[in-house]
Amino acid sequence: MNTPADNRRVVSGMRPTGRLHLGHYHGVLKNWIRLQHEYDCFFFVADWHALTTHYEDPSAVPEHVWELVIDWLAAGINPNAATVFIQSRVMEHAELHLLLSMITPLGWLERVPTYKDQQEKLKERDLSTYGFLGYPLLQSADILIYKAGWVPVGEDQVPHIELTREIARRFNHLYGREPDFEAKADAAIAKMGKKAGKLYRELRRRYQEQGDDEALATARALLEEQQNLSLGDRERLFGYLEGMGRIILPEPQPLLTEAAKVPGLDGQKMSKSYGNTIALREDPESISRKIRTMPTDPARVRRSDPGNPEKCPVWAFHQLYSDDKTREWVWEGCTTAGIGCLDCKQPVIEAVLAELAPIQERARELEANPAVVRTIVQEGCERAREVARETMDEVRGAMSLVYR
Ligand code: TRP
Ligand code: SF4
């Protein structure tokens, strides 16, 4: 099933693992900042996910949580546009995780590639825990509880979204069925009125008999427009379009944008584990020093040796930060030994500092006003909780966990 075009809900999370750097900014945050104006975005700090690997000493988690929120806000996440919150403050995530665990075959979790990969990679930690195995299922709960249509993530997370889709499908299959589904669908169609009801049936037939995707999209749009339908009826009719039962938890899709590959100071990808980062809140002196001392084309030993920008990490920075004219100047100057490496680095230093100046300014303000940050998060948690509660009411209902 494809995400209906009208599902504008976006959910994404980050684990609180320390201050963000330019890699996060260009690779993830700039994308979030763009999305917040086009979608209904829910961005949260995945503090429980941090515990799956750092359970032995969680003492740094709170500090990292606030650092992360400040970095987001300083970079341009706007709490009036996006809902910003902390996972563990919306307990419903845990309840959904638990309920989904009932229907999740162990094999599905063991097969997720990150499971074995991370265990291999983080050999020094004991990750043979229940919580770690459940990592992608908790992520599924994070997403499904908001009925998100889209999840901006990197390539490495795509299998987690795939699992989320399978879980949603299984859930809908098991609990979306009602004994009198057909009769309830008929009654719901009647509520749409004669004309719209007839059109709906016609579009459904065209989709089911001829696989006409356009008819499916039109029918979904038609359902969205209906004022007379309750939430339950609408879901029923979404499900009826495709012939199954009710769709309680819609299947999300990954939202992959070709994220700018941010070079690290040594030419590898920028990453904390390589120690080649520039933090968003790093002081300008330190940034200048790091760039001034970063390696260049190793063949360019003396100032008089010509160099090859293709073999130089500084060139990668020029790709990201410089205009055509500057890049021409670099290429010409480097290959003819017309400029020195320090000359070459100067525009990069200036561009990075100029990019970070407003971010650092906002970060300072937020650091000085922790109450502002707390309030933003508190309001975000409340907004998130409202949506999560509604979903859980439906989920409990579908799973017969209602006691009257
Ligand atoms: N697993 C994600 C990561 O490591 C973080 C995450 C947790 C997440 N829950 C999520 C991302 C829900 C998107 C949606 O990057
Ligand atoms: Fe690298 Fe610039 Fe030096 Fe050439 S001149 S080696 S591109 S830093």
For the purposes of burial, counting CB atoms within 10 Å of the CB of 293, is it exposed (0-12), middle (13-18) or buried (19 or more)?
exposed
pLDDT recorded at residue 372:
98
- Whether 151 lines ligand 1, by a CB cut-off of 6 Å, is yes
15 neighbors 67 (Cβ within 8 angstroms): no
- Whether 10 lines ligand 1, by a CB cut-off of 6 Å, is no
Return the amino acid letter for 69.
V
Atom 3 in ligand 2: residue holding the nearest Cα: 341
- Whether 90 lines ligand 1, by a CB cut-off of 6 Å, is no
Distance, CA 154 to ligand 1 centroid (Å)?
10
Residue 315 CA: nearest ligand 2 atom is: 7
- Whether 300 lines ligand 2, by a CB cut-off of 6 Å, is yes
Ligand 2 pocket mutation, candidates 265, 292, 308, 312, criterion most atoms within 8 A of CB: 312
Low-confidence spans in the chain with pLDDT less than 70: 1-5
pLDDT recorded at residue 5:
64
CB-based burial, 32-67: b 16+ in 10 Å, e otherwise: bbebbeebbbbbbbbbbbbbbbbeeeeeebeebbbb
pLDDT recorded at residue 3:
65
Residue 15 CA: nearest ligand 1 atom is: 5
> Where are the extended beta strands (E) located within 27-70?
40-45
pLDDT recorded at residue 367:
97
Ligand number with the minimum distance to the CA of 267: 2
CA distances for 155 relative to 256, 263, 287, angstroms: 7, 17, 29
The residues near 326 (Cβ < 8 Å, ≥ 6 apart) are: 318, 347
Q: What is the pLDDT of residues 271-288, one digit of tens each?
A: 998 999 999 999 999 999
pLDDT recorded at residue 180:
85
Give the separation between CA 334 and CA 303, rounded to whole angstroms.
10
- Whether 344 lines ligand 2, by a CB cut-off of 6 Å, is yes
The residues near 72 (Cβ < 8 Å, ≥ 6 apart) are: 20, 29, 32, 43, 84
Distance, CA 3 to ligand 2 centroid (Å)?
47
- Whether 330 lines ligand 2, by a CB cut-off of 6 Å, is yes
pLDDT recorded at residue 287:
98
42 neighbors 11 (Cβ within 8 angstroms): yes
Return the amino acid letter for 267.
G
H/E segment holding residue 12: strand 9-14
How far is CA 141 from its chain centroid?
A: 14
Alpha helices in 105-179 (DSSP H): 106-110, 113-121, 130-133, 135-144, 158-175
Phi (first) and psi of residue 212, to 5 degrees: -75, 100
pLDDT recorded at residue 4:
66
Q: Tell me the CB-side half-sphere exposure of residue 307, using CA atoms within 13 A.
A: 27
- Whether 141 lines ligand 1, by a CB cut-off of 6 Å, is no
52 neighbors 97 (Cβ within 8 angstroms): no
Residue labelled with tokens 């809900």: 9
Residue 33 Ramachandran class (φ > 0 left, ψ -120 to 50 alpha, else beta): alpha
Q: What is the largest CA-CA distance in the chain?
A: 85
- Whether 64 lines ligand 2, by a CB cut-off of 6 Å, is no
Going by C-alpha positions, the residue among 255, 252, 257, 254 that lies closest to residue 4 is 252
Q: What is the pLDDT of residues 237-269, one digit of tens each?
A: 999 998 778 899 999 999 987 777 888 999 999
- Whether 119 lines ligand 1, by a CB cut-off of 6 Å, is no
Ligand number with the minimum distance to the CA of 339: 2
- Whether 318 lines ligand 2, by a CB cut-off of 6 Å, is no
Residue 148 CA: nearest ligand 1 atom is: 14
| Six token digits for residue 234 | 């609408």
Cα four-point dihedral sign 15, 36, 395, 183 = negative
348 neighbors 295 (Cβ within 8 angstroms): no
pLDDT recorded at residue 245:
84
Atom 6 in ligand 1: residue holding the nearest Cα: 13
pLDDT recorded at residue 262:
87
The residues near 385 (Cβ < 8 Å, ≥ 6 apart) are: 89, 90, 92
Cα four-point dihedral sign 239, 153, 260, 380 = positive
How far is CA 123 from its chain centroid?
A: 26
What's the CA dihedral at 16, 378, 48, 67 to 10 degrees? 10
- Domains belonging to the chain, first-starting first, are 9-176+252-260+370-398 (3.40.50.620), 181-241 (no CATH), 281-367 (1.10.240.10)
